[in-house]
Chain A
């Protein structure tokens, strides 16, 4: 679970008292604090349009369109859920049919080789609806990653386990439910982490294509107004969103995969 955010119970290093910690390790807290101080000191020497101080960023944070955070978060979440649903479906079909896998895999590999910027341009060329464009870009980028990760996970289920389960003569559904799903759960959660950070970074660019709300749009507006502190404030918001989302998945991992502590 290679996160620098660790739950209070599992860190090897001393942790904050429960309640205060938010799951942060002491080192994490201090390294962030150190960065904040260095930034503040730098802001005294550089002009405010290069490195604005924390008081300027803080002021910006107060007057940002907070509802745009929710708008962007909903876009990311919706697109990821859709990608996951489609990805899981395709992965299951590919797992069940060798032929299907052989036809689909090259196409997926091709999709994954296309740069993000090209997808955004295609979205503008092909579709009119702004929300549709954003969802399209996110799904076309995250979907194939889910497919590949899930398929790898399913194929990695040990032959010994598959034989053991088959010897009990389960239905196809039971085979998935009792073996495949729990066996790939770690891979599923890891895949969600990867795709979350990808989606949060891509959504802002996708929001440049005609959106009139959202963090990406907020960034464009800030740039237009030459309001540097706003740009950094939005960036800060994005980073925090991503870290919080990652932390939620890490906590989920510890809940769902607590058997791994014994292994």
Chain B
């Protein structure tokens, strides 16, 4: 299911993401050999696009997303969002970038509503407005009955919804998602995915989403980037164009073979 763009689209050129010759070498505690996590990665995501990244486990997807979020620096090369790099111009992206992590990462001492308010508190938004926004998002994500529940009282799927609400409440221009639905059962994951896309496309948010479920990528993304191990670009797929030529199943097979071969391929 490809999201169709509506009004409120903010996909201006300002938020185009360019990844240029990115390298990340990690020093590990166990081995003496430094580990190459990302190796000369180059690609672009246009503002307002929904992009999926797929690749083998441990291929450097989370590492890449961390750099894109500005939480880590690359060893070589660079990422620019518009004119700026997210890790150097860190504070410039305050409120503009939100992350939904691999685990929900809710703070256990805050209720669902307070967790959603966290980002708004940091932006200095008034308590009344914070509360309103948080309740609005939690209601939209069908958690209106759990505003004052602590994370310990919620199921995994509900917690992930709260984490989603926390990101959406910021109304970011760029939303980074790391396997947010991976550990949930298929029915819950599908429903969450549908909700997620509905809200992301409504606001014209640029989305970069990591997943290892190929079906999820094919159903979700306008662009799919296939990463090798260590992370470099093996294939870039324009999903609507590809699906006009082949079936979902054929596309899935192509992606799977590309990942298995670990070699760059053309569709």
Contact = CB atoms under 8 A, between A and B. Distances in A.
B152 interface: yes
A12 interface: no
Contacts of B153: 262
A263 B107 contact: no
A257 B121 CA distance: 21
Interface in A164-196: 164-170, 174, 178-179, 182-183, 185
A164 B99 contact: yes
A259 B71 contact: no
Interface stretch (B11-19, B86-94, B217-225): B86-94
B158 to A, nearest CB: 13
21 contacts: A160-B103, A160-B105, A161-B107, A163-B66, A163-B71, A164-B99, A164-B105, A167-B70, A168-B119, A169-B91, A169-B122, A182-B109, A183-B109, A259-B109, A259-B110, A260-B108, A262-B151, A262-B153, A263-B108, A263-B150, A263-B152
Given A178-B122, A263-B108, A167 B97 contact: yes
A212 to B, nearest CB: 47
Contacts of A185: 109
Bin chain A's interface residue count.
20 to 34
Contacts of A257: 109
Contacts of A169: 70, 90-91, 93-95, 122
A183 B110 CA distance: 11
A28 B105 CA distance: 40
Interface of B: 66, 69-71, 90-91, 93-95, 97-99, 101, 103, 105, 107-110, 118-119, 121-122, 149-153, 170
A174 B122 contact: yes
A259 B153 CA distance: 9
A147 B91 CA distance: 31
A167 B152 contact: no
Contacts of B71: 163, 166-167
A174 B125 CA distance: 14
Contact of A259 (B93, B105, B108): B108
B79 to A, nearest CB: 15
A126 B153 CA distance: 56
Given A160-B103, A164-B99, A167-B99, A259 B118 contact: no
Contacts of B149: 262
Contacts of B109: 182-183, 185, 257, 259
Nearest to B66: A163
Contacts of A259: 108-110, 150, 152
B64 to A, nearest CB: 14
B122 A170 contact: yes
A178 B97 CA distance: 19
A29 B105 CA distance: 43
Nearest to A170: B122
A256 to B, nearest CB: 9
Given A259-B150, A262-B152, A262-B153, A168 B105 contact: no
A167 B71 CA distance: 7
A16 to B, nearest CB: 29
B209 to A, nearest CB: 15
Nearest to B96: A169
Interface string A70-104: 00000000000000000000000000000000000
Contacts of A167: 69-71, 97-99
A170 B107 CA distance: 15
B119 to A, nearest CB: 5
A170 B109 CA distance: 19
A167 B103 CA distance: 14
Nearest to B93: A169
Contacts of A164: 99, 101, 105
A138 B149 CA distance: 42
